Amino acid sequence: MAHNWNLDQVVSQLRMVRTAWRDSQRGNSERGDRELPSPEALRDIITHLRGALFPMRLGPADLRRETEDYYVGHTLDAVLNALWRQVRLELRYTARQQNDATEHEIDARAVDLVRQFAAALPDVRSMLDTDVLAAYAGDPAARSVDEVLLCYPGMLAIVHHRLAHVLYQLGVPMLARLVAEQAHSATGIDIHPGATIGRGFFIDHGTGVVIGETAIIGERVRLYQAVTLGAKSFPADAEGNLHKGQPRHPIVEDDVVIYAGATILGRITIGAGSTIGGNVWLTRSVPSGSHVTQAQSLQERLPPASGE
Amino acid sequence: MAHNWNLDQVVSQLRMVRTAWRDSQRGNSERGDRELPSPEALRDIITHLRGALFPMRLGPADLRRETEDYYVGHTLDAVLNALWRQVRLELRYTARQQNDATEHEIDARAVDLVRQFAAALPDVRSMLDTDVLAAYAGDPAARSVDEVLLCYPGMLAIVHHRLAHVLYQLGVPMLARLVAEQAHSATGIDIHPGATIGRGFFIDHGTGVVIGETAIIGERVRLYQAVTLGAKSFPADAEGNLHKGQPRHPIVEDDVVIYAGATILGRITIGAGSTIGGNVWLTRSVPSGSHVTQAQSLQERLPPASGE
Amino acid sequence: MAHNWNLDQVVSQLRMVRTAWRDSQRGNSERGDRELPSPEALRDIITHLRGALFPMRLGPADLRRETEDYYVGHTLDAVLNALWRQVRLELRYTARQQNDATEHEIDARAVDLVRQFAAALPDVRSMLDTDVLAAYAGDPAARSVDEVLLCYPGMLAIVHHRLAHVLYQLGVPMLARLVAEQAHSATGIDIHPGATIGRGFFIDHGTGVVIGETAIIGERVRLYQAVTLGAKSFPADAEGNLHKGQPRHPIVEDDVVIYAGATILGRITIGAGSTIGGNVWLTRSVPSGSHVTQAQSLQERLPPASGE
Amino acid sequence: MAHNWNLDQVVSQLRMVRTAWRDSQRGNSERGDRELPSPEALRDIITHLRGALFPMRLGPADLRRETEDYYVGHTLDAVLNALWRQVRLELRYTARQQNDATEHEIDARAVDLVRQFAAALPDVRSMLDTDVLAAYAGDPAARSVDEVLLCYPGMLAIVHHRLAHVLYQLGVPMLARLVAEQAHSATGIDIHPGATIGRGFFIDHGTGVVIGETAIIGERVRLYQAVTLGAKSFPADAEGNLHKGQPRHPIVEDDVVIYAGATILGRITIGAGSTIGGNVWLTRSVPSGSHVTQAQSLQERLPPASGE
Amino acid sequence: MAHNWNLDQVVSQLRMVRTAWRDSQRGNSERGDRELPSPEALRDIITHLRGALFPMRLGPADLRRETEDYYVGHTLDAVLNALWRQVRLELRYTARQQNDATEHEIDARAVDLVRQFAAALPDVRSMLDTDVLAAYAGDPAARSVDEVLLCYPGMLAIVHHRLAHVLYQLGVPMLARLVAEQAHSATGIDIHPGATIGRGFFIDHGTGVVIGETAIIGERVRLYQAVTLGAKSFPADAEGNLHKGQPRHPIVEDDVVIYAGATILGRITIGAGSTIGGNVWLTRSVPSGSHVTQAQSLQERLPPASGE
Amino acid sequence: MAHNWNLDQVVSQLRMVRTAWRDSQRGNSERGDRELPSPEALRDIITHLRGALFPMRLGPADLRRETEDYYVGHTLDAVLNALWRQVRLELRYTARQQNDATEHEIDARAVDLVRQFAAALPDVRSMLDTDVLAAYAGDPAARSVDEVLLCYPGMLAIVHHRLAHVLYQLGVPMLARLVAEQAHSATGIDIHPGATIGRGFFIDHGTGVVIGETAIIGERVRLYQAVTLGAKSFPADAEGNLHKGQPRHPIVEDDVVIYAGATILGRITIGAGSTIGGNVWLTRSVPSGSHVTQAQSLQERLPPASGE
């Protein structure tokens, strides 16, 4: 019932391909032990953090208010220990790339970083409460604040983002990315962990939303599915070379609503209180209180403008 | 190997944030015990229901026709007991919000509801058989009806929807929503459980499809990826206030095909047998047998039309 | 705590619906034992293949270079045995549909097929190395080649695709489809396993990308989210009947970049080195070195052109 | 690959046997729903209780002293909720047998009982500390008190017993029995949960030890494998009818040592400080400070020996 | 964090040892594929069989009488399929040892064997009901027949034995042995699957009980811990060569009670209604109604008795 | 559905008991982090080692001879890494007790120790092969050498012992003890890891066997259930103080058979080729070729014999 797959040959050819890769990378990759963070570990960490942040709604079924601090304390303890191991892996990986820092320094830095992450959690919960209220207010179909937290993919995305953003700011961008990609996979909402997002944020439906690394979003902003807040990489930049770190994504001020399919590109500003219609393509700033519809935006683009 | 995360302080700050939230909600949320339905439990219920509906294709590997009734009967028994517990949780939750009904009444209502759900299953299977045939007929690449059921994300979405729709109609919208969101997460297809969908429905590719709560879809309708059947929330309604329950999504009559990226908004009617081209933006009813292409729809929108 | 769900009646009605289905299919479906491949088995196979292809980065945490061949060899052995069982299921299923081949012939063909699959793995790894480098070069935010492999949904999609494509070519399209749909579900990127894709391929963000069965993509091509390489099914073909197998999707030559939301339909050719702008709708071939923007493509479509 | 097992006939015959059983029991058994406690649930409860009692040694690997109260509190909360459900099952089962008490009364009694169980835990831990020290002192091979707790089957047996004994005293003898049998299965040591055992108790090796329901064991007693403290059921009692509840097992006073294979039967007293040799058969009380060897006991038994 | 264990050398030395073993066995062992039955598979089979035999007491928590046939039918279907695979493994293994029978014949024999096993289940249940009643009657501490079934190790042992005995009689002694050893491991009761045991059998405490292959036990027999029904292998047989299959263990007639530690050796007969005292050593038949105590048996053995 | 268990009070009382314990132990126990080895980790290690030692019989079902080295190599790699972590925990624990050695020295010692353990495995396998043959030869009921390895509890015990003995000799007695106790729990056979046991060792039935730390057993020795090779702790040593490490258990020379229930105590020698009858109690050396029966031994013990 078992067969011969010419394994020896396949194994040896795979070894040759690996060797060629390693030689070509001159040690940029796969040096010594495998020391990359673990997506599975991150997934568990986030699941338990969600429970610790919202114990009576996302925690264990039997919990009561009288004893929730025991649950929160113990869960955080386990989660932060696990996170510390992942942080250490990323810091060591980065140091290996750059040949700096001793192992001892890294471990100490990891402890410090996790402590700061822990200290940020109350603020994260406080922000997320405003997001829950925004979703409840923004969707006439929502029946309760609890349903929003339990069911809405937009809530899942923002919970992951607010945690990923803390990790990003503390200097572990790979962990931040892994957290963000897990929300991306579950919801189709792709928020770069570097994006800055104010209180009361709400994304409805959400599939296809993309928010770039240097985007800045104010308070009480609402987005629908397939909205892009991207970089104007074309045709402005003919070589296709973006310089990392430079501000290149939109600034969206307070109380803006952006409907489904709108594409907003470049370091432009959408003034406070504006509404951007569905499928609008926008590459210029608009003042506060603007109402931009697809027709207008088409007109903007069609006139003399040969090449946009 | 373990470190001090200032846990006592973090735990106490989190408690303060929770207390603030609870005070602000004056009991709308997190009252007493946690009593929200469980997404994980729903996931298991749907997985087993799929097996019970299609025992020889989605059931256990060893099954034979001679004994499939045992499998179906036992699986349904376990699933309906599990569903009953979730139904009871949602009914209790709702009653708590509204301070009505005794626990005893709720339990009885839950039993009745699950019995009706069970009684609806043969019809659901019968509908799904027409969906399988529609997918097989609609996709030239499909090799067999079984491959469609096993592999196509559009089939997964419609299986979930037909079950979620029954739950929605029976009065447990949060459970219905959880079922719908699980398909949304797996397929990128977002069908509100309230939507009414006729026999022989097929969605190809599917990522980015959004179908709203009051949409009504006839028989033998076919959709492609990124089609939206949404509410015309803008600019018609300047305050952004939709009234829940009012019909606000399209009516799509029998034998309509809608190609990828088309956006159809508002309580309009797409006449029977029409085809709507890719990326079309449509906010007006069209008669039976219409062929709408993007060019046409752009023309509709570009003219004098100041505000659309 | 347990209740009566009128199970006998539901079970018997479900049996009647199944019988009706089977009669209507006259044996095309569900014949005798259940013999369809298992999505769960495929999922495990791919997970372990990813580890065997990239042992130090996607394999077990403790692995060292000294012993990775043991890991690769043992993992491949287990994976190929498991794959052989799934291949046999699909071959038997197909033979049952066509009433050809003895069980003995099928088993031998399955062994041969898996051996060829194994022999293709070193090439697959070699191709994927070029994809990793392309992603690293193409995204200014990428910090290392390892981060790309670990975190990017586009990498997940191409790993699945390159494996699915081998299965497709070897004659097990249902297995190929299952592998492809798992990537589709996780990333929102829908690549038909039949598509031919050259070295150094990169998809950024990715949600909503659709690549059709007969698409041919050259080397060093880069795509962004929501790009469609589809069939021009409308309005050219009024009956909506596509003939399976005929070339009907685009050819994209080397070094092309296609920005988010572009829709490219039909058997047209995008010349080498071209860039296609965001949201462009393109149904005509363009020569090498073209720069197509939305404005241009709108102009193409808006003029006299009554019907496109 | 699947075969016909004449299932319909087997199922119907099994039903007939069940019906015959139920008729013969006239409702003593299997009435209505299944409501027996769950051995698996008890197993989990005891595992977690062991961790809560000895957090730094049997709890989770990462625990630190600073945060162990969170762990202890949360674990106890979950464990006591789970225990309450099992207690309720046994109380309902018993009430059903006796047709007394309303469901409401039972639930309240269950709450009260679990609260008393919780209150007894500090004493249990305190007793167990003396057992650990006794084992450490009694076995020259023991290297540390921690090794004793971690490795010794005698420790496992006494931990289970002290918990089972509390359950027994509180009036849930079936739960107590399940806890005791789990230790019996793991260690071969069979201690009836009704047995009364003083501080500093140690069993070495342990396989085959049997301690009866009404046995009373003083402080600092040490036993070896295959020791029986049983009832003198033969030949004194010709009908073989023991009356439940009557004292019928030995009293072993403080500081007694009983070597392997000794059999001590009936309500006799082993005086303080005695040592009983290996394989001794003893059915008469012995005064404090006795040294009983097999030879002596054989002599007792061989003569005309009216007694025994 | 990972180290070099000189794996290549260890692996190659282990290979040499395996080769030496295989050479020494000239193919009696480990020929080609591994084809031994799986202890884990057997464990699952027995667990589910226990549920199918006693659905309301050992089956799933939610079961109700109305639907237990679905559970029983489906569970048996799955269990018998799984058992068939194990039976086939043993039959193939045996045939390989003896070079007889084609694979096709073996598969057919396996089907037939499992069908007979299924047909025996109602009788097994019926026998076990008498065992439950015997335990309830025999132990004054037993509170209900259900407690006996749920908690008593003696019941676990007899459930395993009655199933193992059917397998033994049908010609799969290795499977029978595996089932028996699982009870042995859990209870310390070692009953050879060949032993013949009548209705109403009860073992109390049980640790250390050994019952040999050709033992024959009548109805309503009761044993206590550490009773041996063994072969008189010493000194009667100087070469220590027992001939397999020959009757060599005791016959115990109806209504016999044997107290703890009694050792009964050889093909002797214990007459109906006898009682054998604790620790008695017996190698001669005794007539019906005998009462044998240790003193008596010692006297029998001590006198002139040159050698025994 | 959740209740108040006065948790705060229970938690605080448990803390007080822990504090009292720690104070009383002045740091002998529970210092700082929990650093004891993990029984669960050891269990997995042994399970995988058994597979690596006997790949075609205890390894994965699909294995073939062609590829077993991959399996053996990869399994050993994972197992030795896991073992190294447990070794380090015990070495650190011991060093903490004794305040010697730096962490760095300990880690290096752990590496060295595991390397020696690995190097011993081929010899262990070779020894076990002789044990398998001994069991096959010694039990007329054994049908094949493979059945012995798969089913016999005596084989399980000796596999564990030979591995535990290597660990014991290398200086990690707590790990050795954990391995031994797992066999003890599964089989009722209690072999101290310090015992020295020659080739071709066989224990039949086994429940209740006890073999002490300094026992020395020659080649081809066979034991039956409930045999004790213990220390003569009584009455020779009135204070009950045994000095650890001193030889105090029997020497059993080659080709000895010891029947069930025999008790052999003290540093005596059983001469080569002797047979010791069932239930014999022996505390004096016997020359080679002795046949000792219970009657004889009783006679030895019965005479005037004041003290024994």
Predicted confidence band at F193 (pLDDT cuts at 50, 70, 90)? very high
pLDDT of residue D303: 39
DSSP 8-state symbol, B286: B
End-to-end CA distance of chain F: 65
List the structure tokens of E278: 């604790």
Query: Best interface-test mutation with F: which of E17, E22, E85, E211 has the largest number of F CBs within 10 A?
Result: E17
Computed from CA positions of residues F57, F58, F60, F63, in that sequence, does the dihedral angle turn out positive or negative? negative
Closest-CA distance of chain B to residue F117, Å: 26
Strand F263-265 to F228-230 pairing:
parallel
Residue contact B64–D7, C-beta within 8 A: no
The answer to whether residue E62 scores a pLDDT higher than 90 is: no
Look at C101 and F25; give whichever has higher pLDDT.
F25
Distance CA E109, CA E91 (A): 8
pLDDT of residue D100: 64
List the structure tokens of C81: 């045995």
Look at A194 and E35; give whichever has higher pLDDT.
A194
Q: Do B164 and B192 meet the contact criterion of CB atoms below 8 Å apart?
A: no
The pTM assigned to this predicted structure is 0.92
Contact list in B for residue E72 (CB cut-off 8 A) is 70
Query: Best interface-test mutation with E: which of D34, D178, D281 has the largest number of E CBs within 10 A?
Result: D34
Closest-CA distance of chain F to residue B35, Å: 10
Q: What is the largest CA-CA distance in chain E?
A: 72
Residue contact D74–A74, C-beta within 8 A: yes
The answer to whether residue A303 scores a pLDDT higher than 60 is: no
Closest-CA distance of chain B to residue C44, Å: 16
Closest-CA distance of chain B to residue A222, Å: 11
Residue contact E70–B70, C-beta within 8 A: yes
The answer to whether residue D247 scores a pLDDT higher than 50 is: yes
Can you say whether residue E157 is alpha, beta or left, with left for phi > 0 and alpha for psi between -120 and 50 degrees?
alpha
Residue of E nearest to A4 (CA): E33
Predicted confidence band at C66 (pLDDT cuts at 50, 70, 90)? confident
The answer to whether residue B34 scores a pLDDT higher than 80 is: no
Could you tell me the CA-to-CA distances from D18 to E72, E263, F245 in Å, in that order? 12, 37, 60
Of D6, D15, D33, the CB nearest to E119: D6
The answer to whether residue F249 scores a pLDDT higher than 70 is: yes
Mean pLDDT on A287-301: 77
Q: Where are the beta strands (DSSP E) in F162-246?
A: 190-191, 196-197, 202-203, 210-211, 216-217, 222-223, 228-230
pLDDT of residue D142: 84
- Cβ-Cβ pairs closer than 8 A, C with F, add up to 45
Q: Do A207 and A121 meet the contact criterion of CB atoms below 8 Å apart?
A: no
For C100, what's the count of Cα atoms within 13 Å in the CB-facing half-sphere? 3
Closest-CA distance of chain A to residue F30, Å: 19
Query: Best interface-test mutation with B: which of E45, E68, E70, E80 has the largest number of B CBs within 10 A?
Result: E70
Of C70, C77, C78, the CB nearest to F77: C70
Predicted confidence band at B139 (pLDDT cuts at 50, 70, 90)? confident
Distance CA D54, CA D214 (A): 29
List the structure tokens of C3: 């209740």
Closest-CA distance of chain A to residue D78, Å: 7
List the structure tokens of E2: 């990972």
Residue contact F122–E37, C-beta within 8 A: no
Distance CA B5, CA B75 (A): 47
The answer to whether residue C143 scores a pLDDT higher than 50 is: yes
Closest-CA distance of chain D to residue B51, Å: 18
- pLDDT tens digits, B168-211: 999 999 999 999 999 999 999 999 999 999 999 999 999 999 99
Q: What are chain B's domains?
A: 36-188 (1.10.3130.10), 208-235+245-308 (2.160.10.10)
The answer to whether residue A170 scores a pLDDT higher than 60 is: yes
The answer to whether residue C308 scores a pLDDT higher than 70 is: no
**E247 residue type, one letter:** P
Packing angle between helix C153-170 and helix A173-187, nearest 10 degrees?
60
Mean pLDDT on E274-299: 87
Residue of C nearest to B69 (CA): C11
* Closest listed residue to residue C301, CA positions, set E300, B277, B211, B114: B277
pLDDT of residue F294: 76
- pLDDT tens digits, C198-252: 999 999 999 999 999 999 999 999 999 999 999 986 444 445 444 556 899 999 9
Of E5, E39, E263, the CB nearest to F278: E263
Please give the full DSSP string across C48-80, using - where no structure is assigned.
HHHHHHSHHHHS-TT--GGGHHHHHHHHHHHHH
Contact list in D for residue F308 (CB cut-off 8 A) is 293-295
pLDDT of residue F4: 77
List the structure tokens of B176: 């219905």
A257 DSSP β-pair partners? A222, A275
Q: Do B229 and B250 meet the contact criterion of CB atoms below 8 Å apart?
A: yes
The answer to whether residue B305 scores a pLDDT higher than 80 is: no
- Cβ-Cβ pairs closer than 8 A, B with F, add up to 4
Contact list in A for residue B305 (CB cut-off 8 A) is 295
Query: Best interface-test mutation with D: which of F15, F168, F187, F210 has the largest number of D CBs within 10 A?
Result: F210
Closest-CA distance of chain C to residue A33, Å: 5
Distance CA E289, CA B147 (A): 73
pLDDT of residue D1: 45
- pLDDT tens digits, E86-130: 999 999 988 876 666 677 889 899 999 999 999 999 999 999 999
Of F146, F257, F279, the CB nearest to E36: F146
ipTM of the complex: 0.90
The answer to whether residue F146 scores a pLDDT higher than 60 is: yes
Residue of E nearest to F300 (CA): E302
Packing angle between helix A294-301 and helix B294-301, nearest 10 degrees?
100
* Coil/strand/helix, residue C196: strand
Of C10, C188, C210, the CB nearest to B118: C10
Contact list in B for residue F1 (CB cut-off 8 A) is 33
Contact list in C for residue D1 (CB cut-off 8 A) is 33
The answer to whether residue D91 scores a pLDDT higher than 90 is: yes
Chain E: list its partners (3+ Cβ pairs within 8 Å): A, B, C, D, F
Chain C: list its partners (3+ Cβ pairs within 8 Å): A, B, D, E, F
pLDDT of residue E304: 35
Q: Do B10 and A68 meet the contact criterion of CB atoms below 8 Å apart?
A: no
List all residues 6 or more positions away from A208 whose beta carbon is below 8 Å from its beta carbon.
A188, A225, A226, A227, B188, B207, B208, B226, C188, C207, C208, C225, C226
The answer to whether residue E56 scores a pLDDT higher than 80 is: yes
Residue of E nearest to B78 (CA): E62
- Cβ-Cβ pairs closer than 8 A, A with F, add up to 22
Q: For residues B53, B58, B60 and B62, what is the CA-based torsion angle, rounded to 10 degrees?
A: 110
Mean pLDDT on F217-236: 86
Q: Where are the beta strands (DSSP E) in B8-145?
A: none
The answer to whether residue E216 scores a pLDDT higher than 60 is: yes
Residue contact D10–E56, C-beta within 8 A: no
Packing angle between helix D103-138 and helix F7-25, nearest 10 degrees?
0
End-to-end CA distance of chain D: 64
Of B4, B11, B66, the CB nearest to D4: B66
- Cβ-Cβ pairs closer than 8 A, A with D, add up to 43
Of C118, C140, C151, the CB nearest to A244: C140
Residue contact C7–E63, C-beta within 8 A: no
For D302, what's the count of Cα atoms within 13 Å in the CB-facing half-sphere? 16
Chain D: list its partners (3+ Cβ pairs within 8 Å): A, B, C, E, F
